[in-house]
Structure 1
């Protein structure tokens, strides 16, 4: 049990929310417009009757070349051995300038030798962050550098991959895992399909941040459920509002 909690202290759970680079397709630079139209032809079905650019608002945000990171939620556990209690501290990095929020997140990654964990992180969150950092001229922090590393040297965990148990065809939504493990849902006020509208049209970044932090907590609780302990643990949730506040551990 002690070894598990020693390991748990080093895991940084994270989730990102993304949106299209611009509200309107027409606002993209001309060269990027041309590239999106090529991408659009690949992702639309033959039955779609869309005008060029119609899919941009709903689909561009999931592609790092045409999207942006609007917030990064993070959280980590601290084990209070005396009280037999876990404290989960979380906060969200958000800034009107994507480069600034990515620099703040990079600074966190450089404070400690973190193990990163996200749901579907290996296929979405981690590569998306890497691509947007490079687009913004930011050198990748060590935890996101995987080129040249052996598989066991890459400190990335993925709750979806853990649930696959080697079944490479098996895709499982975080909400489904939360349901079967009786973890409270993060989808009460918002879901991923609404982020672009909430960001560009409603201008409600605070709502996105709250949703993002809920997803981080759900991911962390699902991870714990995948590593059941002999006794039930109390978990105290602490959200840090100031994204510039230092992590001391």
Structure 2
């Protein structure tokens, strides 16, 4: 029962990703060919490989992480707080700083990671990018040999499905139906690439990523039957 979980033992998170290079023609010839083969089914006859490249951030083999935002509950007496912070910069620094957080503060079996669609996207994406950069996996992302009940991951999308595997519910839709303020009041995921490469506005991406992290925590509270966070309970650090 998620109502029995200690909120202070959960690290909520969200990531933002973009294509690994700004332009398709910056890829090596081999990588271009591999991209064409990888996306042939998704493109069908509508787009050629270059036209489809602005979506490359979805795949860890062709994208990179530009921001990881995290949030955690911290009670000060009777006062509930939700604190958020973000890792950004070059990808290796982001990954090493995030790994350091996990190994310093979220290392033992009490702690869990939580994201929306995290089991399909955020957690494996982070792990794959770490391996690509020869960064050893922290225990919270190293799932090799673990039984399903030993995996320290929560997923608000999976919790919302209640065993139904036929549907996908976006973060924006779920916040709407649950009466939670929308995190998509500025940009959405499809615009992150342009904001990063064209506008070069990482602060805007950080704000967006942190709002998504807050939204994940709000959804988790609603699934538990708890009151959602008020604005004065959210602290950016």
**Shared fold (TM-score greater than 0.5)?**
yes
1:105 aligns with 2:112: no
Moved over 3 A (4+): 231-235
Contact 2:221–2:228 at 8 Å: present in 1 too?
no
**Aligned-residue CA RMSD in angstroms?**
1.6
Alignment of 1:153-164 (within 5 A): 153-164=150-161
**Partner SS, residue 77 of structure 1:** strand
In the alignment, which of 89, 101, 104 is matched to residue 83 of structure 2? 89
Q: How many residues align?
A: 230
Shift of 1:183: 1.0
Alignment of 1:146-225 (within 5 A): 146-225=143-222
Alignment of 1:207-246 (within 5 A): 207-229=204-226, 236-240=233-237
Give structure 2 stretches of 5+ with no counterpart: none
Evaluate the alpha carbon distance shift between residue 176 and residue 233 of structure 1 in structure 2; reply closer, same or farther with a 3 A threshold. closer
Equivalence for 1:243: none
In the alignment, which of 119, 122, 128 is matched to residue 116 of structure 2? 119
Give the Cα–Cα distance (whole angstroms) in 2 for the partners of residues 119 and 75 of structure 1: 13
Equivalence for 1:144: 141
Give structure 1 stretches of 5+ with no counterpart: 241-249
Contact 1:25–1:53 at 8 Å: present in 2 too?
yes
In the alignment, which of 45, 62, 66 is matched to residue 70 of structure 1? 66
Shift of 1:181: 1.6
Contact 2:12–2:70 at 8 Å: present in 1 too?
yes
1:56 aligns with 2:27: no
